[in-house]
Structure 1
Amino acid sequence: MQEKLSRITPPAEILEESAKSSMAEKVLLILETIAQSEFPLTLETISTGTGLAKPTAFRLLNTLVAQGFIERDPNGRRFQPSAKLRIMGMNILSVDSVRSQRVAVMKRLVEEIGETCNFNILDGNKVMYLDRVETSAPIRLHVDLGMRVPLHCTASGKLFLSGMTELQVRRSLGNEPFETYTPKTITSYNKLFSELEKITSRRLRPR
């Protein structure tokens, strides 16, 4: 009888591997759902989209946040891909024709405007440089790919901030005064919001 039971009952190692496989599938399902969305997703949306129970989805989401693969949006209620996950995707795309097409567009921009062109992403309260085509000007600012710089003191950072609500901006930057990097660094919200209004008006101005 004991021999027959041993044939029917799966060994503990098999059960453990099966559990790991099932957990991995759930994690990948969550990552796929978040990565395919154009906007940050709530726990409820992720739970519905993946078919996972809210407690399970919440636990796995917290694990992914802790490991740096996803992050909460400035409001703290939704989940979105992190810079780490985006970089993984960019590394894959860097060996694909997509990067060559992107660089070709950036080169045309550099030729047209005579300025260095950067391809950046938002990474928390900083901007991360993922790609760069430099101008031929003799004086240039050297930036390493993967470098992270503050939002409030860079042109691309202010562009990202101009697309946020006031609450999102304040949550991203925290308390003022902001850290000073040059004599022209904006260190207060009053001056920053004034600058962001100018950016928004130029961006929305009809051509």
Structure 2
Amino acid sequence: MVDTNADHDLIDEPQGPAESEGQAPTLKAFSLLQAVARSERPLSMAELSILLGMPKPTAYRIARMLERDGLLEREAGGRRYVAGRKLLGFAMEIVTASVRSAPRHAILETVSRQLGETANLGVMVANHVVYIDRVESAWPFGLRFEPGSRVPLHCTAMGKLFLSAQPRARQEQILGKVPLERYTENTITDPQRLLRELESIRAAGLGVDNQEFLAGVVCVAAPVVDASGATIAAIAISAPQARMNMNQAVQHAPLLRAAAQRLAETLALPAPERLAPERQTEAPPAPRPRRAARRG
């Protein structure tokens, strides 16, 4: 079994023929960042080495360099790697710029115009939901959140939708780290009750916020799913409860799901190679030596 937790101070070794003839250093660094970004959980050095087919000393050297530059971080209290704040910020700048100049913004405008309410597009970044685009309603009373704004996971429609798509172990891990702050009387702060809520949301395929984040405001969200079936974003509508109650908001699910499908088509992302959450990473078995054939 490979030691997936120990990251020893490895000495840089001279590059052998296979390494020197392989990817350029820049491409190796990009491949490592891509593996971390695509994974559904933090990755250890041994897992990165195996996933990338890269010698562990090389992977370690590149990871340490990326960590110093803020592109990678160690998970809290552990040695596995996650995307760093600098990388997340860079990614958000790219996504926000592309969204606002692409057909995706027009889809949000159409949803907002059809329902007369605010339409949002968001992604899960670390332990928050980040708005990457938003079209405000034409009503005088509006909820003013700019693209790039962060909102909690545990009490928002998009946040609970993202959480519901995670494996149960990952849900418990996130809820154990994120403070379940009470924002309104309706905010769910009990972890077990929230886990049951996530089961219902996963079954329905629709996230709901019944005045849990902002008093007097309801929200419903549908997932934007990529070619691999992973939830990569969410589209949501939010409105004052005085104009749209929770039952009325849920009735707009077909329109939201249709918009989510159109958004997924604009993304046109190929199915990424993901490391399964429950996969046990082991070293490949050593080849058995072949016996020399006997000569008669």
Please classify the TM superposition score into its range, dividing by the shorter chain length.
0.5 to 0.7
Query: Displacement, 1:174?
Result: 1.5
Q: How many pairs align? A: 182
Q: Which residue of 2 aligns with 1:129?
A: 131
In the alignment, the residues of structure 1 paired with residue 170 and residue 151 of structure 2 have an alpha-carbon distance, to the nearest angstrom, of 18
Q: Equivalent residue for 2:112?
A: 110
Counterpart in the other structure of 1:197: 199
Gaps of 5+ in 2: 1-23, 207-253, 255-296
1:186 to 185, 188, 200: 188
Tell me, in whole angstroms, the C-alpha distance in 2 between the residues paired with 1:190 and 1:122: 22
Change in CA separation of 1:158 and 1:24 when aligned onto 2, cut-off 3 Å: same
Q: 8 Å contact 2:188–2:194 — kept in the other structure?
A: yes
For residues 86-135 of structure 1, the C-alpha deviation after alignment (integer angstroms, 9 at most, x for no partner) is 44234335555884211011112222333322222212221112221112
Instruction: Tell me: higher relative CO, structure 1 or 2? Use CA pairs within 8 A at least 6 residues apart.
Output: 2
Aligned to 1:14: none
- What TM-score do you get using the length of structure 2 for normalisation? 0.50
Q: Retained in 2: the 8 A contact 1:83–1:123?
A: no
Q: 1:39 to 1:164 in 2, by over 3 A?
A: closer
The structure 1 segments of at least 4 consecutive aligned residues displaced by more than 3 Å after TM superposition are: 22-26, 32-35, 37-46, 48-51, 62-68, 70-74, 76-84, 92-99
The answer (yes or no) to whether the contact 2:42–2:75 under 8 Å persists in 1 is: no
In structure 2, relative to structure 1, the CA distance for the partners of 1:50 and 1:102 (3 Å cut) is same
| 1:176/1:189 contact within 8 Å kept | no
Q: Distance between the aligned counterparts of 2:93 and 2:84, measured in 1?
A: 14
Are the structure 2 counterparts of residues 197 and 39 from structure 1 closer, same or farther at C-alpha, using a change threshold of 3 Å? Answer: closer
Q: 8 Å contact 1:69–1:85 — kept in the other structure?
A: yes
Structure 1: distance between partners of 2:153 and 2:42? 23
Give me the CA root mean square deviation.
Answer: 3.5
- Which runs of no fewer than 5 residues in structure 1 stay unpaired? 1-21
Structure 2 SS opposite 1:174: helix
Matches within 5 A, 1:1-207: 24=26, 26-34=28-36, 37=38, 42=43, 43-44=45-46, 46-48=48-50, 50-65=52-67, 67-70=69-72, 81=83, 84-92=86-94, 94-96=96-98, 99-174=101-176, 178-203=180-205
Kept in 1, the 8 Å contact 2:74–2:81? The answer is yes
